[in-house]
Amino acid sequence: VMCATEDGLEARALYGPTGLNEWVGPVGKGTLEPFAHDKAVMGRLWELSEAETGFHWEL
């Protein structure tokens, strides 16, 4: 919800807990691994998500 409503957040960034291993703590800009921007990885994750949920988005 924060990313949809907060002004001034950086695009293509990950926001979430900033404490221990980014699992707990105050919300802020987190670590986004380089593979998160890999188009091939994005495509595979999307396909797997559709297959596992049984739902296909008509985009």
- Residue 13's SS3 state is coil
Check residue 2 and give its pLDDT: 80
Check residue 3 and give its pLDDT: 82
Tokens read off for 54: 């049984």
Rama region for 47: left / alpha / beta (φ>0; ψ in -120 to 50; rest): alpha
* Every domain of the chain and the residues it spans: 2-53
Question: What percent of the chain clears pLDDT 90, i.e. is strictly above it?
Answer: 75
Check residue 22 and give its pLDDT: 95
Q: What is the pLDDT of residues 11-39, one digit of tens each?
A: 889 999 999 999 999 999 999 999 889 99
pTM of the model: 0.62
Reference 14, options 2, 25, 5; nearest CA is 2
Would you give the distance in Å from CA 19 to the centre of its chain?
17
pLDDT band for position 59 (cuts 50, 70, 90): confident
